[in-house]
Amino acid sequence: MDYLKKYEEWTTNQYFDGATRAELVALKDNDNEIKERFYMDLEFGTAGLRGILGAGVNRMNLYTVRRATQGLANTIIKAGGEKRGVAIAYDSRRMSPEFALDSALCLAANGIHAYLFESLRPTPELSFAVREFGCIAGIVITASHNPAEYNGYKVYWEDGAQVTYPKDVEIIQEVNSISDFASAKFMSKEDALAQGLLTMIGEEVDEKYIATLKKLVLNPLTEEGKKLKIVYTPLHGTGNLPARRILKELGFENVYVVPEQELPDTEFSTVGYPNPENPKVFALAEKLANEVGADLILATDPDADRLGIMVRNEKGEFVLFNGNMSGALIAEYEFSQKAEKGILPTNAALIKTIVTGNMSDVIAKHYNAKLIEVLTGFKYIGEQIKLFEQTGSNEYIFGYEESYGCLVGTHARDKDAIVAVMCLCEAAAYYKSKGISLYDQMNMMYEKYGYFKEDLLAVTLSGIEGMAKIKEIMAGYRSNPPKTIGDYTVEKFRDYKEDTMKDMTSGTVVSTGLPKSDVLYFDLNDNAWCAIRPSGTEPKIKVYFGVKGSSSADADEKLKKLMSDDVFKMN
């Protein structure tokens, strides 16, 4: 069925509600918009759904969400997991409560017990709840840090991590097999409650989640540490209550929340693009921090699974730490303190993604820990935790990715900004009691491990043409990889989609050892590297860069020069 036939079906079929049909009828003279909405189904990929809100098969709406949920229900039924149920959480975005409730009612209509949070909650708490209730699966309605016009639908499996192979493929196949949107089962909330197929959850899970996090504390606050001044912004998202609660219960007395960004806001009106990687989202927090004389600024994204930080430098100015820096700070604190206390296991493991900086490798080596590298996506870190439990091979200490996601503990199997807030503030307070700031500690780590610096370029390519362009760009680098990038020589070329790692000198080709993924990686001489991949959550292509310098200034200069090379000019 071509896009115009699909469009006509949606405008005339009485299954679709009147508002949906009216929205589409109003587009009758806009062929380009009709094509964008109907040329393909919104893809249910390995991370679930994510897309622009609106009517149509290529948009996030009640009908695409019900179709996805019916596919998940079919998978659960085939696995015999109806009685175990599914936990469901949602964030502060447009339509998040409605999508969450519809998902629950579709599951209930399939005889599957749904545990629905009564109000918005962080994504990591959903991961925690899946295992707490012994559910077979979980759903989070969120588009993470995307702009306000987006929403998304993420699926978790029984281990509390986002679905991985082969379960992700099974669910995708079930979703794709549903051609008739009206075939998705549905029942009323009243009937679901009456039949015991819907349970509302909330405070009892909060209590257990917070209590579990507090068990991870390594150093209780000293009187000096309590003086730490913290400015926090939830960026209109889900982090406000749990982040403030954990800090208060640990004893932090000087926590200031940005008032303009404290409450949920579906439009993210003070930031637009609520991504803690973007320095612009810190403007109001920095203003408040200077007014109160804060030591540290924290920002969590809307579903509170990622944490961005700013710290004061030697001049007293606030500087933004990237995810490699904040992740390395927490890793060093966790490993060093456990080693000092004699509680670091001999089979300790540190996990990072393939586009995360290389200081992690040296930290792991220093503490005789195993360094494991996985594909981009925190679900692969969660998968390793599951394997550790199954085999006893290693004990998980810490895992992180460059995009501000990390996890201390195994209470969740996804990145957790609430535990990151707790651990980072604990570390800051500990170092403060020693007369050291986080900025000082970062510089001490550079001296100890090497001046590793990283950065990222992201190019937005939206719509049908953008998708085609991204595929064309990746195909070009794949078929004709550069032999040099800037002043560096490409020593090895990894193509994770083809599962090949080629030695550019000898021509020898071996397996990458990881599942297939559309990522190209260039190992360069002198500890430098580059990688390129399409974003899994936004219409972007991303290029990652990493170098190692002899000093901070040398690393900065090398990074700047590498990033300015024409090899990755795509506009």
Given a contact cutoff of 8 angstroms between Cβ atoms, the answer to whether 74 and 91 are in contact is no
User: Which ranges of 293-412 does DSSP label H, i.e. alpha helix?
Assistant: 323-340, 359-366, 379-391
Q: Would you tell me how many other CB atoms lie within 10 Å of the CB of residue 418?
A: 28
CA dihedral 105, 108, 110, 113 (to 10 degrees): 140
User: Which ranges of 189-232 does DSSP label H, i.e. alpha helix?
Assistant: 189-194, 203-214
Given a contact cutoff of 8 angstroms between Cβ atoms, the answer to whether 294 and 428 are in contact is no
Amino acid letter, residue 509: V
Task: Give me the residue label for tokens 């998708």.
Answer: 467
DSSP 205: H
Given a contact cutoff of 8 angstroms between Cβ atoms, the answer to whether 127 and 378 are in contact is no
What HEC string does 412-429 produce? Answer: CCCCCHHHHHHHHHHHHH
Given a contact cutoff of 8 angstroms between Cβ atoms, the answer to whether 295 and 228 are in contact is yes
Active-site hit among 92, 103, 144, 360: 144
Per the document, the length of the chain is: 571
Given a contact cutoff of 8 angstroms between Cβ atoms, the answer to whether 71 and 103 are in contact is no
Given a contact cutoff of 8 angstroms between Cβ atoms, the answer to whether 470 and 541 are in contact is yes
Going 249 to 254 to 255 to 257, the CA torsion angle's sign is: positive
- Taking each helix axis as running N to C, give the angle between helix 3-12 and helix 18-25, from 0 to 180 degrees, rounded to the nearest 10: 140
Beta strands in 375-528 (DSSP E): 395-401, 405-408, 451-460, 484-485, 488-495, 500-503, 509-510, 520-524
Q: Would you tell me how many other CB atoms lie within 10 Å of the CB of residue 547?
A: 29
Active site annotation includes 144: yes
Given a contact cutoff of 8 angstroms between Cβ atoms, the answer to whether 483 and 500 are in contact is no
Of 424, 371, 421, which is closest to residue 399 (Cα–Cα)?
371
CA distances from 253 to 185, 256, 424, 426, 429 (A): 50, 9, 16, 13, 12
Q: Residue 92 class from Cβ within 10 Å (0-12 exposed, 13-18 middle, 19+ buried)?
A: buried
- Angstrom distance (rounded) from CA 133 to CA 361: 36
Q: Are strands 229-233 and 500-503 parallel, antiparallel or unpaired?
A: unpaired
Q: Would you tell me how many other CB atoms lie within 10 Å of the CB of residue 15?
A: 14
- Angstrom distance (rounded) from CA 64 to CA 58: 8
Amino acid letter, residue 523: D
- Annotated catalytic sites, by residue? 144
